[in-house]
Amino acid sequence: MIGKFFGQILIFLVRFYQAAISPFFPASCRYTPTCSHYTIEAIRIHGPLRGGWLGLKRISSCHPWGGSGYDPVPERKEKAGSPDP
């Protein structure tokens, strides 16, 4: 419950950035999906800790000497011993 709440706060902060800050700067993300969309998707799939970490790693690689192109959020790996659906 706390994790979900924390995840919603992080998503709200990214959405605030998308609406209030990002429009004042030219589009410069080298990746598809953009770093902010990637971060939101990562938080939704992996939760606030791992998703936030994946988002930070992605943002830190978004520079002229970093990667570029299509880079989707990795799929969530099931823990060992969890029942199959």
For residue range 57-74, list pLDDT tens digits in order: 999 998 888 888 999 999
- Return d(Cα 43, Cα 10) in angstroms, integer: 8
pLDDT per residue as tens digits for the range 35-51: 999 999 999 999 999 99
Domain boundaries, the chain: 30-64
For 82, left (φ over 0), alpha (ψ -120 to 50), or beta? beta
Nearest CA-CA partner of 42 in 52, 56, 32, 31:
52
For 15, left (φ over 0), alpha (ψ -120 to 50), or beta? alpha
pTM given for the model: 0.85
